[in-house]
Amino acid sequence: MTESASARTPLSPTSRSALTRYRDRAATDRAALDAILDAGLVCHLGVLLHGAPVVLPTTYGRDGDTLYLHGSTGAGNLRAALAAGVSVAVTHLDGIVYARSAMHFSMNYRSAVIHGRAVEVTDHEERLHGLRAVVEHAAPGSWDHVRPPTKKELAATTVLALDLTEASVKTRSGHPSDDAEDMTSQAWAGVLPVRQIFDAPIPSHDLAPGIDIPAHVSSRVDAPVPATP
């Protein structure tokens, strides 16, 4: 994600974003928010639909203090998101915490939750900018590699901008926190690390011969990529 030159806003701990539990896990560092957002691939968008919350997974992009979302103009969910406040969560699971007692089992994670009003972007240039942010977030280096949106495609797409001012960050890391009286337990205690990886790219079935996997794709792979025949 590209960074805006504007001054960065600190996290605002309002009654909604302040944590009611585990205040020691709250980080007021804006850099932590950006890091969590930038490392994520999918967010969970909460909107109000017919008076009830609805949570939907979707992609996103960030530029400075703005989170961009997009969707089809035909999607009722995004239209509903404009009418009320939205909530966006990005979560990374880092480990399963095995404790010596059932109620101390936990997860190691990094989580960001943003609250605010999603505004429909109407300016042509900012719409392109927002869509570029979303595509580049999911697939860095791709926007300039592929055909840009046509007028017709743009007309069928809603771009939303959400300010990152009101957000909270929660993280847990490290070992289990067991009670003193359980320390003589013979149960194994520790962390099972969880990680998201990219495997070797799979070329499209209809890819023309002679088109190699470009560096902006192959460089993301965690496991070794098999040599091209």
Q: Restricting to residues 81-100, which ones interact with a second copy according to CB under 8 A? A: 84-89, 91, 93, 95-96, 98-100
Contacts with a second copy by CB under 8 A: the residue count is 106
- Pick between residue 35 and residue 93 the one whose CB is nearest to a second copy: 93
Of 13-32, which residues contact a second copy (CB under 8 A)? 15-16, 20-21
How far is it, in rounded angstroms, from Cα 112 to Cα 169? 5
64, 120, 143, 171: residue in contact with a second copy (rule CB under 8 A): 143
Q: Min. distance of Cβ 29 from a second copy in angstroms?
A: 19
Q: Which residue has the tokens 């703005």?
A: 66
Residue 109's DSSP bridge partners are 93, 172
1, 56, 165, 172: residue in contact with a second copy (rule CB under 8 A): 56
- Pick between residue 6 and residue 204 the one whose CB is nearest to a second copy: 204
158 lies in the binding site for a second copy (CB under 8 A)? no
How far is it, in rounded angstroms, from Cα 27 to Cα 29? 5
User: Which token pair is 21?
Assistant: 């539990």
- Pick between residue 45 and residue 160 the one whose CB is nearest to a second copy: 45
197 lies in the binding site for a second copy (CB under 8 A)? yes
Q: Min. distance of Cβ 66 from a second copy in angstroms?
A: 19
For residue 101, with 0-12 CB atoms within 10 Å meaning exposed, 13-18 middle and 19 or more buried, which class applies? Answer: middle
Q: Which amino acid is at 203?
A: P
How far is it, in rounded angstroms, from Cα 86 to Cα 46? 6
Q: Min. distance of Cβ 8 from a second copy in angstroms?
A: 23
How far is it, in rounded angstroms, from Cα 169 to Cα 34? 10
